[in-house]
Amino acid sequence: SIRSIDAMEILDSRGNPTVRVFVELEGGVRVAASVPSGASTGENEAVELRDGDPKRYGGKGVQKAVANVRNSIAPVLLGMDSAKQAEIDRLMIELDGTPTKAKLGANAILGVSMAVARAAAQASGLPLYAYLGGSGAVRVPVPMMNVLNGGKHADNSVDFQEFMIAPIGAPCFAEALRYGSETFHALKGILKKIGLATSVGDEGGFAPNLRSNEEACEVILEAIQTAGYTPGKDVALAIDPAASSFAENGAYNLRKSGQGVKTSAEMVALWKAWADTYPIILLEDGLDENDWSGFAALTRELGERIQIMGDDIYVTNASFVARGIREKASNSVLIKLNQIGTVTETMETVQLCRKAGWTTLMSHRSGETEDSFLADFAVAMDGGQIKSGSVCRSERLCKYNRFLEIERELGGAAKFGR
């Protein structure tokens, strides 16, 4: 049973405060878990409680969330069996009492939820992925590596946030990661040769000042070939433009590249042209989070060919996903633990997607920590796809490196792929 729960303020990969929670069990198990933080957040995400005190961290301190773990959550959960994840999460949801976890903070609640899962796994003697996913959790996902950053994640001329490479032709995770790393380094060489910056954005991808959004695809395809791989066969593309971040008054302003203002229908046409031109297997947030009819049109246009995935539109919330299923707004859902705020609710949303025959992709946030919880969680959920940023920066690599460990540990039982 749970002997103690404590929390502290730490810093994330952007240097902003976030929450780390410690859980200790009778019998000596002691674990920690750290909460990530997004930048291009959806409007309906669970609330990240910040202090708002301008004298500390520009108002971004999380001392209130830390205090809520200690003073509100801990007293309710002490003595409980850590294996009762669903009950523990439900108690925290009730204690908070708001639909968006605004009172205690989703950062406080999720930190406890993750740490409880990790403690229970350790107490049971199982790795976290096997504890949460059962003995069938043997599939290591395809990594979608964000090698070129734009949008809100980089100060450059690219409107679209994430250009990811997906090594779909690799035989196992370790090889997929190698394909990704080699392509990443080839891309660096190409950018250098044409005189562009090779400094990186928030998720470790390059952030060059390109002449157009299309040029991002062109240089990545060149990098795939330079690294010795065949675009579309060995390594495909996945795009997350994070369209909510450039949506304005019902239209889309491609301001950073200077490519003009587009209507929703024009954006659908743009994505159709991209899917015809480039080997894209997945398009996430191709339209604004409030553009439900646009999403449905996009799915009608491209849903048979590629994964049309919703991130900001669903915010990992089962009620929004249920609407998406009713309205055929996509065929795939991005899953982020801190958008909804508990391990149990996240698992429920994944189940809902699976029932509808939709794919899922487990995701990090642009502000991350050295916690690799996401890797174990992705194997447990068996969705076959993950994104944890580029192939550099240790807050990204700690997840990828954890997959290497899991694949090694599973040995001959390991599966790989979507």
Member of 240, 289, 345, 382 binding Zn ion (CB under 5 A): 240
Beta carbon nearer to ligand PGA, 240 or 288: 240
**368 sits near Zn ion (criterion: CB under 5 A):** no
Query: Minimum distance between the CB of residue 57 and ligand PGA, rounded to whole angstroms?
Result: 18
Member of 109, 186, 242, 361 binding ligand PGA (CB under 6 A): 242
- Rounded Cα gap, residues 382 and 387, in angstroms: 14
- Rounded Cα gap, residues 84 and 94, in angstroms: 16
Query: Is 101 annotated to bind ligand?
Result: no
Member of 203, 289, 311, 371 binding Zn ion (CB under 5 A): 311
Structure token pair of residue 166:
């997906």
Beta carbon nearer to ligand PGA, 40 or 122: 40
Member of 13, 41, 63, 360 binding ligand PGA (CB under 6 A): 41
359-363 β-sheet, strand order: 142-143, 385-387, 359-363, 332-335, 307-310, 280-284, 236-240, 162-166, 145-149
Query: Minimum distance between the CB of residue 284 and Zn ion, rounded to whole angstroms?
Result: 5
The active-site residue out of 336, 345, 399, 407 is 336
Contact (Cβ atoms closer than 8 angstroms) between residue 329 and residue 301: no
Query: Is 284 annotated to bind ligand?
Result: yes
At residue 333, what are phi and psi to the nearest 5 degrees? -135, 135
Which residues are CB-contacts of 357 (< 8 A; sequence separation ≥ 6)?
Answer: none
Partner whose footprint covers residue 241, from Zn ion, ligand PGA, none (CB < 5 to 8 Å by kind): none
The active-site residue out of 48, 182, 203, 289 is 203
- Interactions with ligand PGA, residue window 365-394 (CB under 6 A): 365-366
- 203 has catalytic annotation: yes
Of the candidate spans 192-200, 219-227, 233-241, 250-258, the one that interacts with Zn ion by CB under 5 A turns out to be 233-241
Query: Minimum distance between the CB of residue 4 and Zn ion, rounded to whole angstroms?
Result: 36
- Rounded Cα gap, residues 270 and 248, in angstroms: 17
- 336 has catalytic annotation: yes
**159 sits near Zn ion (criterion: CB under 5 A):** no
Query: Minimum distance between the CB of residue 38 and Zn ion, rounded to whole angstroms?
Result: 9
Beta carbon nearer to Zn ion, 311 or 368: 311
- Cα–Cα distances (Å) from 380 to 170, 180, 268, 354, 406, in that order, read 21, 23, 34, 14, 11
- Interactions with ligand PGA, residue window 300-329 (CB under 6 A): 311
**40 sits near ligand PGA (criterion: CB under 6 A):** yes
Q: Which residue is nearest to ligand PGA (CB)?
A: 38
Of the candidate spans 13-21, 37-45, 185-193, 218-226, the one that interacts with ligand PGA by CB under 6 A turns out to be 37-45
Query: Minimum distance between the CB of residue 374 and ligand PGA, rounded to whole angstroms?
Result: 12
Contact (Cβ atoms closer than 8 angstroms) between residue 350 and residue 337: no
Query: Is 363 annotated to bind ligand?
Result: yes
Of the candidate spans 22-30, 32-40, 133-141, 167-175, the one that interacts with ligand PGA by CB under 6 A turns out to be 32-40
Which residues are CB-contacts of 399 (< 8 A; sequence separation ≥ 6)?
Answer: 364, 372, 374, 375, 386, 388
Q: What is the contact surface with ligand PGA in residues (CB under 6 A)?
A: 38-41, 240, 242, 311, 363, 365-366
Q: What is the contact surface with Zn ion in residues (CB under 5 A)?
A: 240, 285, 311
Catalytic residues: 203, 336
